[in-house]
Structures are given as structure tokens and as C-alpha cells.
Amino acid sequence: IIRNRVGSHDLVGDILKQLCSGVNEFDSYYSEIAQQVTNYYRNRETMNRNMDLELGECPGMWLRPRHRDHCCIYRVPDALRRSKPEAYTPQLVIIGPLHHSLKSQAFKARGDITDVKSLGYLNMQVHKRTYQAALMQRVQAVANNNNNIIDDLREMIQGQEIRIRESYSESTAWIKSQDFVEMIMEDSVFILEYVVKIFERTPAQREERTGDPLMDEEHLQGTIRRDLMLLENQLPYFILHRLFLLISPRFRNPIPTNPTFRQLITRYFGVRPIDGEIALLHFTDFLRFVSARTVPPAPPALVMAQPHRQNPPRRRCLGNLFIRPPPVPPPRVGYMYTAEKLASAGVELRAVGAEPSLVVNFTDGRLEIPSFSFQRNTEAKLRNIMALEQCHYPRQAHLCNHMVFLDYLIDTEKDIDLLVEKGIIMGKAGDGRVLADIVNKLCSGVNVSESRYSTIAEDVNRLCDNNNRNTFSWRSLKKLYTN
């Protein structure tokens, strides 16, 4: 538009300003054009700003939190979800915002008795209100405090609303503040009251009917336990823990043995007690930790000693003499023979320990693998822990690495039957094909990290190849001698 032959852009600008200095401006078509340009700019800026707001208020949009460390609850990657989407979707109880749309669909389907899943969601909403009333009965009023316990819980959640929202990988701006706080409060109260009720029941009381289907019907308890494992169906652990600390001192009748919140969920999920202080993200992370804690720590990187040189190279930085070379990570598992082929090559398969151990060892031709039990909710639990590792622990994907290792061992139902026979897989011998499909599909779309399994696979393959070569040589010699 302007050909600058002066040399300096600033000088050209000064010349134009000086040219118009003291000049009277009259109405002309230039003024109309200027007004149109100004209006267009303002409308464009407003449109972009509105579009950003609209996108931020749409479910499913990614969130960029101010504190990245807070983000821990993710939408399952599509590469994992495609193989079995129902494994990541709650069947009965909806927790948190990521499956909030299922509630809306359920309310729209009211009256349709053929929509069993929506009826289940609606029934659980009623039970959440029932459990909220039960918690209010459980907690006694505090002197000089006109608020009931629900008001106190709501106030605490309001104070932590920003951090709770930042715990989710997707934006929750589409949920108004009041609605968000009520949702978190309702779900938190249900979880707290439910796990306390489960903890309080004695073996004799479990045989009695209470009138509460969530306590009386074991299949509902199993479904709720499964739903509370799902990655997308989580509340941040920190808010549940703080709310429990708020209400537990005010119980009219203290819980037997006065357990901590971590002891409550340890009993609820049926895992071994955890010692020491640990920072948990949510229930899925808790279940992962139960297995991940069995993995031995990585050996310290070996420091390569620099050989003495009589004529060191010039221009070498003195600081490099004290820099440790970066540790070389072990490679990923490339391939490994199946269980049947290993056994035929003379490798002994032995079950050692039990779930949730992930420790695999190979010594003296013996491959030791922890026993692994497949039960009703095992697949859903494994899939969601593996999804968490893919999103949050890509460099420490311990369970993913272990399942990929098992996947290499299993190709056909004969491999499964052999592992069942050895006690490595706890399942029915007749379900070999089904279990093989489950294990193979578990690892579909999974990215594995560097681990010690690669070294084990190399050692196993090397022994297997040597044994096969020796067997081939002996057969060739026998055939030659016979001829």
C-alpha cells in the first residue's frame, strides 16, 4: 500500500502525521469507510470472544488449568475406548461431570420402562437423596452453629470449587457454579455414607434384610463397586478426604475401630492395607497404587568411568568431567514366544505370589509370574487403570507393561489352558478362548513404556532359541544315525 523509499518506517509515519497536522477534516465517503472498518473490527473481536466462551461452555472441550498438577481425571482415549466402550461407562451410579449427559438422557426417558439403564440412573438419583438424609441423621448438630451438616459440606466444596474443576481434563464451564457445587456435594455425600454403611455391617447383619436394595442385593453392590472404579466416574480424592474429616468427629455413634478414610476404602475395595503417607488422586489411582507399589524401584543409572587420557582433547568444557551420562532406558518388549512354545522349549512356568503383585522373574530356566484372577469386574478395573496410566503415568505404565507381557504369552486358548494349569491365570479351564480374547483386546491401542520386562523377554527368547537349536541338532543326528 505504501512504497517506502525513505528507508525508515518510523520516518514515513512521522511524515504522514506532519502532513495532516492542522488540517480540518470534512465529512466524506472516507469517514463512512472508516466507520465500517471500525465496526467490523469490533464485531469480529466480539465474535471471537463469544466463540471462545461458547466453546469453553461446551461439554467435552479440553481444559488448560492454571495448575497442571491438579489435572488427574481424564476422558478415556478413543484408541482404548473403541475396543470396548461399555467398560468405561457407568452402569448404575453416575459420579462427577464427565457423564453428566447420561443424567439428562435419563430424565428425558422418564416413563419409558424399556430403557433399563436410564431407570437405573434415575433410581440412583433417588438413592443419593435418601443417603443425604441418612447422613444428616448420622451427624449431630454443633453448638453455636445454625448450619446443618449439608450446609457445612457445601461451604467447603465452594471453597475448593476451582481446584475440583481443574481436576478434570475437560472444561466444566458449561456447568454453573451453583449446579456444580450441588453435584459434587450430592455425589460426595452418597460415596461417604455408602462406604460407611458397608464398613459398619457385620457378617451377621449382611444376612438380614434392611429394606435398602443397595445393602440387600449383592449384584447392585458389585455394580456400584465397578462404577466407582471407572476413570471417567471419579471425584478428586482430596475433597472426599476433607469432607470425611469434617463429618467423622460429629457422628452420633462413632464407627467401630474409628477408621480413617483410607482404611474405609481399603476395606471397601478389598485390598491389603497401605502403610505410610501417600498422595492419592482418586479411587482409580488408589487401585493402581495397590499394584504399582509391588514393582521394584528402577536400579540407579550406572556411572560410566571416564578412562584416563594422556592427551585430552582441546576445548573440552571442564564441567563435562563431572556430568553423569544419561541413563540408557531399557528397550520395550518387542516380541516373546507364547506360553505353549516356551513350555515345549523347556522353560518352566511357575506361579509365584498372587495379585496384585506385578513382579516377574526369570532365573535358571524358570519363569515366575504372579497368579492373576479374572472375576466379574476384573476387565473393567484393568481397562480403567490402564487408561489412567496412558493419560497420567506414561513413563510409569506398570500395569500396561505387565498386561502386554501377558499378552505376548497368550495367543490361543491352549496358552490360557496351560497358564490356568500352572496356576498363573485363575479361571475356568473351559473359558480359554474367552480369556485369551480379553487379554489380547486389553492391550489394543496401549502404548508401553521402557521396563524390565524387555530384559526378561530377551533372556527367555535366547534360552528358547538355544534349546530349539539343540533339539534340532539332536534330531538331525538321530535321523542320520538311523539312516
Query: Where residue 336 falls among pLDDT bands split at 50, 70, 90?
Result: confident
Predicted local confidence at residue 431, as pLDDT: 72
Domain boundaries, the chain: 30-59, 69-272+279-290, 330-467
Least confident of 279-283, 336-340, 381-385, 464-468: 464-468
Sign of dihedral through CA atoms 8, 10, 11, 15?
A: positive
Predicted local confidence at residue 106, as pLDDT: 84
Q: How many residues does the chain have?
A: 483
The residue ranking higher by pLDDT, 126 or 436, is 126
Least confident of 20-24, 172-176, 398-402: 20-24
Q: Is the pLDDT of residue 320 over 50?
A: no
Q: What is the pLDDT of residues 217-246, one digit of tens each?
A: 999 999 999 999 999 999 999 999 999 999
Residue 371 β-bridge partners: none
Cβ atoms of 80 and 445 within 8 Å: the answer is yes
Predicted local confidence at residue 357, as pLDDT: 87
Percent of the chain with pLDDT over 70: 82
Least confident of 94-98, 327-331, 403-407: 327-331
The residue ranking higher by pLDDT, 429 or 406, is 406
Least confident of 106-110, 119-123, 284-288, 324-328: 324-328
Cα distance between residue 404 and residue 402, in whole Å: 5
Predicted local confidence at residue 391, as pLDDT: 94
Query: Where residue 313 falls among pLDDT bands split at 50, 70, 90?
Result: very low
Predicted local confidence at residue 483, as pLDDT: 57
The residue ranking higher by pLDDT, 337 or 239, is 239
Cα distance between residue 202 and residue 267, in whole Å: 13
Predicted local confidence at residue 128, as pLDDT: 96
For the chain, give the mean pLDDT. 83
Query: Where residue 474 falls among pLDDT bands split at 50, 70, 90?
Result: very low
Predicted local confidence at residue 63, as pLDDT: 61
Q: What is the pLDDT of residues 429-442, one digit of tens each?
A: 457 788 888 888 99
The residue ranking higher by pLDDT, 314 or 89, is 89
Predicted local confidence at residue 451, as pLDDT: 82
Predicted local confidence at residue 17, as pLDDT: 81
Instruction: Give the per-residue SS3 of the chain.
Output: CCCCCCCCHHHHHHHHHHHCCCCCCCCCHHHHHHHHHHHHHHHHHHHHHHHHHHHHCCCCCECCCCCHHHCCECCCCHHHHCCCHHHHCCCCCCCCCCCHHHHHHHHHCCCCCCCHHHHHHHHHHHHHHHHHHHHHHHECCCCCCCCCHHHHHHHHHHHCHHHHHHCECECCCCCCHHHHHHHHHHHHHHHHHHHHHHHHCCCCHHHCCCCCHHHHCHHHHHHHHHHCCCHHHCCCHHHHHHHHHHHHHHECCCCCCCCCHHHHHHHHHCCCCCCCCCCCCCHHHHHHHHHHCCCCCCCCCCCCCCCCCCCCCCCCCHHHHHCCCCCCCCCCCCCCCCHHHHHHCCCEEEECCCCCCCCCEEECCEEEECCEECCCCHHHHHHHHHHHHHHHCCCCCHHHHHHHHHHHHCCCHHHHHHHHHHCCEECCHHHHHHHHHHHHHHCCCCCCCCCCHHHHHHHHHHHHHHHHHHHHHHHHHHHHHHC
Pairing outcome for strands 366-369 and 361-363: antiparallel
Instruction: Give the list of residues 6+ apart from residue 343 with CB closer than 8 angstroms, or none.
Output: 349, 418
Q: Is the pLDDT of residue 143 over 70?
A: no
Q: Is the pLDDT of residue 284 over 50?
A: yes
Cβ atoms of 477 and 422 within 8 Å: the answer is no
12: amino acid identity, one letter: V
Cα distance between residue 425 and residue 436, in whole Å: 11
Predicted local confidence at residue 35, as pLDDT: 82
pTM of the model: 0.79
Cα distance between residue 2 and residue 260, in whole Å: 75
Q: What is the pLDDT of residues 76-112, one digit of tens each?
A: 999 999 999 999 999 999 999 999 888 888 888 887 8
Place of cell 592427551: 311
Cα distance between residue 289 and residue 398, in whole Å: 10
Which of the residue ranges 177-191, 194-208, 342-356 has the most confident prediction, judged by mean pLDDT?
A: 177-191
- Cell triple for residue 91? 452402569
Mean pLDDT, range 461-481, rounded to an integer = 60
Q: Is the pLDDT of residue 475 over 80?
A: no
Least confident of 264-273, 399-408, 442-451: 442-451
